[in-house]
Amino acid sequence: MDDLFHFEWQVDQGGYEIVPAGDDPPAIERPAFEDPHIVGGWYIRRKGGPLRAYRPLESAPGLARLFASLPRGPQALLDFANEFGLLGVGRREHSGEPAWEERGDRWHESVFGFGLVVRDIDSGNKRAMASAFTKYVAPRMTVRIEVPPTGRLSLEVAPIDLMSAMWLQIAREITNETKFRKCLRCPKWFPYGPGTGHKATKHFCGDTCRQAWNRQKKREG
């Protein structure tokens, strides 16, 4: 990812939990694509532990692909939140203050939307997908000018939430001809091919999974 895009997100190290939605009204904001079979009824909420900061565009280049492949149901979304944090969409507020919880139906609809997009990309119809992206998807971004004590000024463009960061990953995949592959041992996705630093023959996200896979094959004989 270019240095132009700087984005830091946070994960509650105490974890997340599923809580009932109660009598909340439907979310006002809607994603670009909706699954008509999804209904609400619960939230994903922070437990209130210390926050760990990380940079998704650098440490998880295949995060959008992982999100798009999540199975239906609260547990898969909760597992994702425990590793990567909330999305930044469908938040519930109390007394005007943002709460630490997000609507489950918004999460489900978002997974559905990302799934549609990556299926179109994998079908080879990137031009049509690029047109649809421009028409329907609007990642939320911020622009700043960094002023260091010495040296040149620099332009910094960044998503303002995890959802927008993942849409940015999708946009880069569409425009850069980047290809992604799922690790043979774990759910993570990684880029491969020219310009990614990974050969087309790479089948594991890292040495840990590759070594564990080899040990398992040796045990199986």
| pLDDT by 10-residue block (mean), the chain, 221 residues | 69 92 50 46 89 88 91 90 92 58 89 88 82 84 86 85 92 79 78 72 80 80 69
Same domain, 118 and 201: no
Residue 36 to residue 34: CA distance in whole angstroms: 6
For helices 104-122 and 162-176, give the axis angle rounded to 10 degrees: 0
Lookup: tokens for 167: 């849409």
Same domain, 68 and 115: yes
CB 18 within 8 A of CB 104: yes
pLDDT of residue 94: 53
How many domains does the chain fold into? 2
Same domain, 199 and 126: no
pLDDT of residue 119: 87
CB 7 within 8 A of CB 57: yes
Same domain, 122 and 24: yes
Boundaries of domain holding 207:
182-221
CB 191 within 8 A of CB 40: no
pLDDT of residue 148: 84
pLDDT of residue 80: 95
pLDDT of residue 10: 93
Same domain, 173 and 187: no
Rounded alpha-carbon distances, angstroms, from residue 214 to 61, 183, 185, 208, 211: 24, 14, 10, 10, 5
**2 within domain boundaries:** no
Q: Of 75, 56, 82, nearest to 170 (Cα)?
A: 56
**1 within domain boundaries:** no
Q: Which residues contact 38 (CB under 8 A, 6 or more apart)?
A: 105, 108, 109, 112
Instruction: Tell me the whole-structure pTM to 2 decimals.
Output: 0.77
